Chain A
């Protein structure tokens, strides 16, 4: 990992309403890294992404994007500053065309719309032919591409993906993991939450294991995959 992380959380505590779900989470994402967050259901994985992006309440700790403290910022301001977020469900505008989805993704952009759009179509060539089709009419995998594409329109440094393979068939899961690699190859770091822990560990550079809102382990993906305790506790093996 490079010396200066792109995204860093320090002692993040937070949740919804009066209840804290996360308890003092530290994590880092470096340039061109794929970092996975795994753990059992209810561990607080998705809540962590939402707290980083300003969608859930941050009650303690800090979030830094580069050197800047973005703790407590509104999501749109965070997005403008270089963090992209793809929600797990309802992550496209189903009635709008693929191109319109990307245009809305670039709503906060003053210029460079055409360049950003061609970059997304270059990354997801399958979408080019579906440009003028409603996003809701696409297959599950292609719909995820639109969701990623929308978040990529503001040229984020780091992309947060909340369970991108949830509800997809194994064929699409493989496709989505390949897309995550492509996004990294295009120079964007990725922080993803995954239910499919084994595949996620095989894909990522580093991973954090969360349980009951606390960080239980961290390390390189393949080391965690080989760790017998982690396997027994979290991977069902």
Chain B
């Protein structure tokens, strides 16, 4: 196999899958950073976002108009879920919130199945032929996925690095007691965190659906690689989640060279196990889950 074939058949699909994982992993990492628990409903929130886009597209909207609307709706949903199911547990042991989020995952999936059914759907019909860019073959939807991910990540990093509320959110993640002493309102930063996580997760769901299929279990199946990505990169670190997502995506795709394709999702699990035992703080030294 020559280099270009490797790039086209393994690296490009790996980077595209990795970009989608990264969007999910950034949400997981933000929630863990500020609220200190592993949010198991994250994948199903992505599914919910993907089906919201599907509903809006079905109503005649273009996907590119439907996506921001679905992202905003998912952000509000995430904030509402926090108030309904997680907020009252915040003073109790974190495992209770984790289990509560598992229940929320099942509820979200049931809602998706009740409203949209259990069939596999897609946003657009027809064949998306790849274009060649200096020999590198990219389908339009892959290009859009990469551009949108880059845009969202850059936007998030600018928000966190340059704005007053972005810095407040980082302060809350870094040292919650000192942040509260400095007058940062925990309720507002919490809502902001859920809002951002909801936005990014809905985008992850949409791009997963765009590049594969829209189905009720899509987000649940993405949960493992997303957590593996967040832990690999270092929990609480946005750049880490991006790096972790891309690495997991690439490693999964390349594993097909050595292992039967049905073991692809086991690779993320293997990375997760190795990372937790060898370097639980992740590549970029995050918090220990």
Contact = CB atoms under 8 A, between A and B. Distances in A.
Contacts of A94: 174-175
Interface string A48-90: 0000000100000000000000000001100110000101001
A95 interface: yes
Given A104-B167, A107-B168, A96 B174 contact: yes
B135 interface: no
A80 B184 CA distance: 12
A91 B181 CA distance: 10
Contacts of B184: 104, 107
A107 B177 contact: no
B182 A79 contact: yes
For chain B, which range describes its interface: under 10, 10 to 19, 20 to 34, or 35 or more residues? 10 to 19
Contact of B179 (A79, A87, A103, A104): A104
A20 interface: no
Contacts of B175: 90, 92-94
> From DSSP, what is the main secondary structure of chain B's interface residues?
helix
Contacts of A79: 181-183
A93 B181 contact: no
Contact of B177 (A87, A95, A108): A87
Contacts, number: 57
A100 interface: yes
Contact of B170 (A85, A90, A96, A150): A96
Contacts of A76: 180-183
Contacts of A85: 181
A141 interface: no
A96 B168 CA distance: 11
B284 to A, nearest CB: 11
Interface in B148-188: 164, 167-168, 170-171, 174-175, 177-184
A96 B167 contact: yes
A105 interface: yes
Contacts of B171: 93, 96, 100, 104, 107
Contacts of A150: 178, 182
A108 B183 contact: yes
Given A79-B183, A80-B183, A150-B182, A104 B168 contact: yes
A85 B180 CA distance: 12
A94 B181 CA distance: 16
Nearest to B184: A107
A23 B273 CA distance: 53
Nearest to B236: A95
Contacts of B168: 104, 107
Contact of A95 (B174, B179, B181, B183): B174
A80 B185 CA distance: 14
Contacts of A103: 164, 167
Given A79-B182, A104-B179, 16 more contacts: A79-B181, A87-B177, A87-B181, A90-B175, A93-B179, A95-B170, A95-B174, A96-B167, A96-B174, A100-B167, A103-B167, A104-B168, A104-B182, A107-B184, A150-B178, A150-B182
Interface of B: 164, 167-168, 170-171, 174-175, 177-184
27 contacts: A55-B181, A75-B181, A76-B181, A76-B183, A79-B181, A80-B183, A87-B181, A90-B177, A90-B178, A91-B178, A92-B175, A92-B178, A93-B170, A93-B175, A94-B174, A96-B174, A100-B167, A100-B170, A104-B184, A107-B164, A107-B168, A107-B182, A107-B184, A108-B182, A108-B183, A150-B178, A150-B182
